[in-house]
Amino acid sequence: MKSAFSKIREYVPIFSIIIFLFTILSAIFFIVYISSVGFADFFNQYLSVPFRVVLSYITSIIPFSIAELLLIAIPLWAGILIFIAVKCGKKGKKSSIKFIVSLFSVICIIFICFVWTNTSGFYNTKIEDKLGLNRQNITEQELYDTGSIIVEKLNELSPNISYRDDKSSIMPYSYDEMSSKICDAYEVFVSMHNNVLTTFDSRIKPIWLSEPMTYTHLSGLYTCMTGEANVNVNYPDYVVASSSAHEMAHQRGIAREDEANFIAFAVLICSDDEFLQYSAYLDVLTYIMSSLRSSNKELYNEMISKLNIETKQDYNSYVAFFKKYADSPASNVTDKINDSFLQANGQQNGTKSYSLVTELVCAYLLDRTK
């Protein structure tokens, strides 16, 4: 007489059983993340790191984005799955069940990758607590003071930046060189704040289909299944640099979007490369400008009046570039998916959390000037 396990094995492959056990374990971890900040801290700092590092190292050998290739090949995968499903259906009930179980196993693998590499970063200690920053109740005057600091930095840096005929700034090196420079800046930042994250060398992956991707308003994407930090290179160069640092922050365990924006800024201003510094200051100034313009137009106008003409033209060039993509239907779909994803992972503000970087930048820069 067959045992219960033997009967199960007739329908469920052994690799699926192992995957399902890991899925249960991962689900338990996910629940504990939510209920214990300390456990999320421990997991993110010690257990997730090896998985993120190994995935990043393995995939960095390949110069193109594996995640993008898998996405492009979706029609091929769909065709293969339909072919296998039909073939299994002809063989009988047992083969069909094995196929469905195997397909569900793939979904479970994606869940496992997410939980073991990324999820704990949504529930661990917040970045302001790690750095001792007070991000609450940022006043209009503090927004203005922060913006003025940034404007002053941009005025110092812009004479050393090259610009195209359309007035947009030029990144003076390749994407691989940019990756190396950002990794160096991460090393400097970590040496200053060693309790915030663990860093390592990695490679940014330019996206082939960057131009179509711009219609989704995504400037980059971290793929936890492949460990890749992907960047949309259709955007202006300074946005590419800032977005690369942002995705590399996710790669290093910073999951919350406002924190990834902040880490990108804080890391790039640690760089000895003037273009990376310039990119950080200009990118974050757009958030400061938006917040101050909506709350105090007079202070906003006073702050902007101090900004040099080259940087104003660079920003205006970005505005002109983005008009083509501003009202795309694809962006509405992407925004809703991203918003739901972020809220499901404890970020109540959803996609609005990106702009909350202003609070962190204000607290950080004003604290540094005391």
Q: Are residues 71 and 209 in the same domain?
A: no
Contact residues for 117 (Cβ-Cβ < 8 A; gap 6+): 48, 51, 52, 55, 224, 227
Q: Using the predicted structure, report yes or no on whether residue 124 has a pLDDT greater than 80.
A: yes
Q: Are residues 147 and 106 in the same domain?
A: no
Give the chain's length.
Answer: 370
CB 237 within 8 A of CB 168: yes
Q: Are residues 135 and 94 in the same domain?
A: no
Q: Are residues 253 and 113 in the same domain?
A: no
Contact residues for 234 (Cβ-Cβ < 8 A; gap 6+): 210, 211, 213, 214
The last residue of a domain, from among 82, 103, 122: 122
Least confident interval from 34-48, 83-97, 216-230:
83-97
The two structure tokens encoding residue 251: 């790669």
User: If we measure between CA atoms, which residue out of 336, 351, 360, 186 comes closest to residue 273?
Assistant: 186
Q: Are residues 230 and 311 in the same domain?
A: yes
Identify which has the larger pLDDT, 77 or 321.
321
The last residue of a domain, from among 55, 89, 122: 122
Q: Are residues 258 and 161 in the same domain?
A: yes
How many structural domains compose the chain? 2
pLDDT digits (tens, 9 = 90+) for 72-106: 988 888 898 888 888 878 877 778 888 888 888 98
The last residue of a domain, from among 100, 122, 144: 122
Q: Are residues 249 and 106 in the same domain?
A: no
Q: Looking at residue 159, what is its pLDDT?
A: 95
Q: Are residues 92 and 148 in the same domain?
A: no
**Residue 340's domain spans which residues?**
127-368
Q: Are residues 23 and 153 in the same domain?
A: no
Residue 163 dihedral angles phi and psi, to the nearest 5°: -130, 150
Contact residues for 217 (Cβ-Cβ < 8 A; gap 6+): 325, 328, 331, 334, 335
User: If we measure between CA atoms, which residue out of 185, 180, 234 comes closest to residue 206?
Assistant: 234
Per-residue exposure over 112-132, b if at least 16 CB sit within 10 Å of its own CB, e if not: bbebbbbbbbbbbeebbeebe
Q: Using the predicted structure, report yes or no on whether residue 184 has a pLDDT greater than 70.
A: yes
Identify which has the larger pLDDT, 245 or 355.
245
Least confident interval from 116-120, 354-358, 362-366:
354-358
Q: Looking at residue 136, what is its pLDDT?
A: 77
Q: Are residues 189 and 280 in the same domain?
A: yes
> Within 13 Å and on the Cβ side, how many CA atoms surround 286?
19
Q: Are residues 170 and 270 in the same domain?
A: yes
The two structure tokens encoding residue 169: 């700034």
Q: Using the predicted structure, report yes or no on whether residue 324 has a pLDDT greater than 80.
A: yes
Q: Are residues 145 and 293 in the same domain?
A: yes
Entry pTM: 0.90
